[in-house]
C-alpha cells in the first residue's frame, strides 16, 4: 500500500522505482486527493487498485485479500518460469535447436534438413531432450519451452549446418 502523499518519495514515485527494479508486487495506491491524472498514471504503471480516502474498511480489506491472492499467483507463476528456465538450460545447443524446431511445429525430417542432420540424429536429440526436460509428450515439452521464453527456429534464423 502506497500513499500518494508519502513524505520524501511519494507513492507514485515509489511505484515507478519498484517497476524499474522489476519488483512485481501488487501495488495499492491510496490518496486523499485523487484526480484522474494520478489514477491514470498509477494504473499505467500497473497498480492493482487506486483507492480514495476516506475508504470503506470492508472494501479495503477485500482489495487487500485480492492483492495477496494475486501475489500468490505471481509467485507461483514465477516459480514455474524459473523451473522452466532451469530445465531448458540443461539442454545442449543442438538439443535446444531441435526443441526450437518443435516449437515451429516441424516434423523430424524438416528439423533434420534445417539443421543439416540425419533424421535418426534428430530423433536421438529429441529423445534426450524429452528426458532432460522430464516430460513424456512433445506438447508438454513445447509448453515448458514457451513458458521459459525459448524462441523458435524461425525466430532465431537457421543455424549453420554442423554446428554443435
| CATH code for the domain in which residue 137 is found | 1.10.10.10
| Same domain (yes/no): 152, 115 | yes
Q: What is the CATH number of the domain that holds 36?
A: 3.40.50.2300
Picking from 138, 73, 71, the residue whose alpha carbon sits closest to that of residue 106 is 138
Evaluate if pTM is beyond 0.85: no
Q: Can you give the pLDDT at residue 86? A: 93
With contact defined as beta carbons under 8 Å apart, do 102 and 126 qualify? yes
Identify whether 85 is part of a domain.
Answer: no
Please tell me the predicted confidence (pLDDT) of residue 163: 46
42 part of a folded domain: yes
In a domain, 115, yes or no: yes
Which domain range does residue 33 map to? 2-76
Note the pLDDT of residue 120.
97
Of the candidates 163, 45, 76, the residue with the CA atom closest to the CA atom of residue 114: 163
The answer to the question of residue 83 being in a domain is no
**pLDDT of the chain, 164 residues: tens digit per residue:** 888 888 888 888 998 998 898 787 889 988 887 778 888 888 998 898 988 888 888 989 999 999 988 888 877 777 888 889 999 999 999 999 999 999 998 999 999 999 999 999 999 999 999 999 999 999 889 989 988 889 988 887 755 544 44
How far apart CA 150 and CA 96 sit, in angstroms, is 9
Shared-domain flag, residues 11 and 46: yes
- Domain identity same for 41 and 98: no
Query: In this predicted structure, what is the pLDDT of residue 159?
Result: 56
CA distances (Å), origin 104, targets 7, 25, 68, 77, 151: 52, 34, 37, 24, 9
Amino acid at each position: 500500500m502506497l500513499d500518494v502523499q508519502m513524505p520524501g518519495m511519494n507513492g507514485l514515485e515509489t511505484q515507478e522505482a519498484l517497476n524499474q527494479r522489476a519488483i512485481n508486487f501488487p501495488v495499492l495506491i491510496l490518496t486523499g486527493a485523487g484526480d484522474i491524472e494520478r489514477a491514470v498514471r498509477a494504473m499505467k504503471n500497473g497498480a492493482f487498485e487506486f483507492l480514495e480516502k476516506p475508504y470503506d474498511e470492508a472494501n479495503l480489506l477485500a482489495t487487500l485479500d485480492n492483492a495477496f491472492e494475486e501475489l500468490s499467483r505471481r509467485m507461483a507463476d514465477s516459480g514455474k518460469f524459473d523451473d522452466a528456465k532451469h530445465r531448458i538450460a540443461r539442454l545442449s545447443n543442438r538439443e535446444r535447436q531441435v526443441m526450437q524446431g518443435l516449437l515451429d511445429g516441424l516434423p523430424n525430417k524438416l528439423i533434420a534438413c534445417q539443421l543439416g542432420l540425419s533424421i535418426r540424429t534428430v530423433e536421438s536429440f529429441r529423445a534426450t531432450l524429452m528426458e532432460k526436460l522430464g516430460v513424456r509428450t512433445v506438447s508438454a515439452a513445447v509448453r515448458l519451452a514457451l513458458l521459459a521464453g525459448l524462441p523458435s527456429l524461425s525466430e532465431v534464423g537457421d543455424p549453420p549446418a554442423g554446428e554443435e
